[in-house]
Amino acid sequence: WDETHFGKMGSYYINRTFFFDVHPPLGKMLIGLAGYLSGYDGTFPFQKPGDRYEQHNYIGMRGVRLSLLDQVRGLFSLVPLLELSKSLPAALLTAFILIFDTGCITLSQYILLDPILMFFLMGAVLSMVKCNNCADRPFSASWWFWLSLTGVNLAGAMGVKFVGLFVVLLVGLNTIYDLWDLLGNLSLSLVVFGKHLLARVLCLIVLPLALYTAIFAVHFAVLNRSGPGDGFFSSAFQSQLIGNNLHNVSIPE
């Protein structure tokens, strides 16, 4: 059933048809983008589970996650575990288990948000661990890169599903511990500590919020045609949708 639902959402993006859904839009936009780039024209109705795709090109929406995200997810698990455990056999075993896990393989065969969500979750953990390993080189180019990438992955996780809040909590607790440790370092001045605090506010709060907002800006810019989600929004909003009965009608504030 979920593939029917999210496949239809991807078709809405290709057709630029407005809809309403409980999840943030990033994952569905990426599904639509994968279908568009692979030649899917957005005409399959996705009415019920089990319907045959026939001549419709669904390979992109299914196959991109199976071939790309699964392999990258294995790399994302290999690197942080190697950094944390310093054991190559343990890291390789974990990556092998994740890549060939039956549940992960099954999820990745269908048009679902979960593989995309796991990509950003594990990306956030990877960049967080790499940033921690740059603690002896604060404010270096690599330190800024991994700290910023952590913020990007946090926005990605939250932009796919709200359960991405759990990785936000993980990174937040790690950041609090890191700042508490820096505050207790008497060799650091308050000015330097302030720079550390400001850097984390910019990269782990401001940047993710800006990207999260930008995701919705793209969402509303793409979906400019009337669709099944119109009724959830105000008359003034509906007047901006092409094909709506209120399109271009003057709505008093």
The alpha carbon of 185 is separated from its chain's Cα centroid by a whole number of angstroms, namely 35
Residue ranges in the chain whose pLDDT is less than 70: 1, 63-71, 251, 253
Using a pLDDT cut of 70, give the percent of the chain over it: 95
Identify whether the C-beta of residue 27 lies closer than 8 Å to the C-beta of residue 161.
yes
**Model-level pTM?**
0.88
| Spatial distance between the Cα atoms of 104 and 27, rounded to a whole number of angstroms | 17
Distances (CA, A) of 59 to 70, 110, 134, 217: 16, 10, 40, 28
190-225 pLDDT, tens digit per residue, is 999 999 999 999 999 999 999 999 999 999 999 999
**pLDDT attached to residue 69:** 67
**pLDDT attached to residue 92:** 87
In three-state form (DSSP H/G/I as H, E/B as E, the rest C), the secondary structure along 184-236 is: CCCCCCHHHHHHHHHHHHHHHHHHHHHHHHHHHHHHHHHCCECCCCHHHCCHH
**pLDDT attached to residue 1:** 66
- Tokens describing residue 57: 């090109």
**pLDDT attached to residue 49:** 77
